C-alpha cells in the first residue's frame, strides 16, 4: 500500500495535490467537496493589492467626513467600491471553519507598499501558509530587470517580516534568470516557490478591431515550461517547489513529482472536469506507484531532475540543438 503523504513548507499534507488559487474557493460547498474527494490542501483566491488600496482610500474618505478644513478632499477621491479586503478576510475565516485540510491565503501584489500589513491579517484568519503572487506588466522603458527584481525582494522581505506562517512566492516565468531569482528568494528564507504564474493574455477581435479578454483554461502542453524549471531547481534550493500550470492528469502530476515538485497545484483541469477529478488524479498516482513498486513519494521524487539525470545537459541547450538538427 503506497502512501501519498508529504510535507509542504513544514505543513503535513495527506497527499501532494493542492487546489490552486482560483474561483473554486469562491464557494464553501466547492471547498468542502475538494476536501471530500481528497485534495491535500487548497489555496484561496488572491486578495489583490488594488482591493486593499480601495479599502484604505475609503478609510481616508471616512476621516474626511465632517472635516471643515479640507472639503475638497471629499471630491478628490472618486466614488469607489469598498469593503472588499475586509470581506475577503471574513470569507477566509468562514472557509477555515468549514474544512480541516491545510489552507493557504494568497496575496497578489504589484509594488512595495503599506498593503503588506494585510499579510498579518490574512495570517490571523487561521490559514496555514501564505502564497505571494507578485505580478505587474513591466512597461516602463527606464526600469531595468534588476530594479524589478529588487522590488520583488523588497516585497517578499516586507511580507515575511509581517508573519510567522510559511510564505511561498508564485513566480513569473519571464525573469531573465529564473534560477538566480529563485536563489535570491531562497536566501531570504522563502519557504516555497510556486512555478509559474500563468498570465491571461488578451487577444485581438478582428471584426471589432478591439482587445478581447476571456478566461482560457490551460492545456497539458503548457506543463513543459514549469516542468523544466522544477527539474532544474530541484536539490538546488532549500524552498519546497510547487508546480502550477498545465497539470491535466495523474500522469502529469507524476511527471511533476519526477521532476522534483513537492506539491502539484491544479486549477484548469478541475474547473473543466469537475472537483471529483481530484480523486481520479490521486487514483492514477497510486496505481502508477503500485505498478512501479514505490511506497512513498520520496522513492521517486526528483528522479528526473537535472541533478539526478545521467545527462544533465538534457535540460539545457544541447538537447535543443540536437533536436533541431535531427529534423
Ligand X SMILES: Cc1cc2nc3c(=O)[nH]c(=O)nc-3n(C[C@H](O)[C@H](O)[C@H](O)COP(=O)(O)O)c2cc1C
Q: Which set of grid coordinates corresponds to residue 235?
A: 536539490
Taking the complex as a whole, how short is the minimal distance between the CB of residue 55 and ligand X, in angstroms?
Answer: 17
Which of 7, 23, 67, 111 touches ligand X by CB under 6 A? 23
Q: Which is nearer to ligand X, 131 or 294 (CB)?
A: 131
318 within 8 A of 324, measured Cβ to Cβ: no
Ramachandran sector of residue 204 (left: φ over 0; alpha: ψ -120 to 50; beta: rest): beta
Residue 92 sits in the site that holds ligand X (CB under 6 A)? no
Which of 1, 215, 323, 324 touches ligand X by CB under 6 A? 215
Q: In whole angstroms, give the CA distance from residue 213 to residue 189.
A: 36
Residue 45 sits in the site that holds ligand X (CB under 6 A)? yes
String of contacts with ligand X for each residue 237-256, x by CB under 6 A: -------xxxx---------
Number of residues that bind ligand X (CB under 6 A): 22
Give, in order, the Cα–Cα distances in Å from 208 to each of 64, 201, 203, 275: 44, 18, 12, 37
Which positions ≥6 away from 34 have C-beta within 8 Å?
19, 24, 42, 101, 270, 275, 278
Give, in order, the Cα–Cα distances in Å from 58 to each of 81, 233, 256: 8, 43, 44
Residue 267 sits in the site that holds ligand X (CB under 6 A)? yes
Taking the complex as a whole, how short is the minimal distance between the CB of residue 47 and ligand X, in angstroms?
Answer: 9
Q: φ, ψ for residue 84 (rounded to 5)?
A: -65, -40
Which of 6, 15, 22, 172 touches ligand X by CB under 6 A? 22
Which of 15, 41, 42, 46 touches ligand X by CB under 6 A? 46
Q: Which residues sit at the interface with ligand X, rule CB under 6 A?
A: 20-23, 45-46, 106, 108, 133, 170, 198, 215, 218, 244-247, 266-269, 271
Amino acid at each position: 500500500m503506497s502512501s501519498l503523504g508529504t510535507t509542504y513548507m513544514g505543513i503535513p499534507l495527506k497527499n501532494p495535490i493542492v487546489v490552486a488559487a482560483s474561483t473554486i474557493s469562491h464557494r464553501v460547498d466547492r471547498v468542502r467537496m475538494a476536501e471530500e474527494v481528497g485534495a491535500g490542501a487548497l489555496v484561496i483566491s488572491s486578495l489583490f493589492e488594488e482591493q486593499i488600496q480601495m479599502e484604505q482610500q475609503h478609510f481616508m474618505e471616512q476621516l474626511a467626513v465632517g472635516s471643515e478644513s479640507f472639503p475638497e478632499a471629499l471630491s478628490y477621491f472618486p466614488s469607489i467600491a469598498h469593503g472588499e479586503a475586509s470581506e475577503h478576510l471574513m470569507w477566509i475565516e468562514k472557509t477555515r471553519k468549514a474544512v480541516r485540510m491545510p489552507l493557504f491565503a494568497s496575496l497578489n501584489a504589484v509594488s512595495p507598499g503599506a498593503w503588506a500589513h494585510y499579510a498579518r491579517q490574512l495570517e490571523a484568519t487561521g490559514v496555514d501558509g501564505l502564497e505571494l503572487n507578485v505580478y505587474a506588466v513591466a512597461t516602463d522603458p527606464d526600469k531595468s530587470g534588476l530594479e524589478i527584481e529588487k522590488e520583488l525582494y523588497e516585497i517578499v522581505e516586507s511580507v515575511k517580516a509581517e508573519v510567522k506562517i510559511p510564505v511561498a512566492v508564485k513566480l513569473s516565468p519571464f525573469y531573465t534568470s529564473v534560477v538566480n531569482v529563485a536563489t535570491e528568494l531562497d536566501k531570504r528564507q522563502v519557504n516555497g516557490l510556486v512555478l509559474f504564474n500563468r498570465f491571461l493574455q488578451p487577444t485581438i477581435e478582428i471584426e471589432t478591431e478591439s482587445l478581447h479578454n476571456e478566461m482560457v483554461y490551460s492545456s497539458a502542453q503548457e506543463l513543459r515550461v514549469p516542468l523544466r524549471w522544477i527539474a532544474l531547481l530541484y536539490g538546488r534550493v532549500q524552498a519546497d517547489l510547487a508546480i502550477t500550470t498545465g497539470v491535466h492528469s495523474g500522469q502529469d502530476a507524476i511527471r511533476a513529482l519526477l521532476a522534483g515538485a513537492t506539491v502539484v497545484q491544479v486549477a484548469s483541469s478541475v474547473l473543466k472536469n469537475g472537483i471529483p477529478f481530484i480523486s481520479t488524479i490521486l487514483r492514477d498516482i497510486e496505481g502508477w506507484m503500485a505498478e512501479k513498486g514505490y511506497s512513498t513519494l520520496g522513492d521517486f521524487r526528483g528522479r528526473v531532475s537535472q541533478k539526478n539525470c545521467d545527462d544533465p545537459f538534457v535540460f539545457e541547450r544541447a538537447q535543443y540543438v540536437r533536436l533541431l538538427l535531427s529534423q
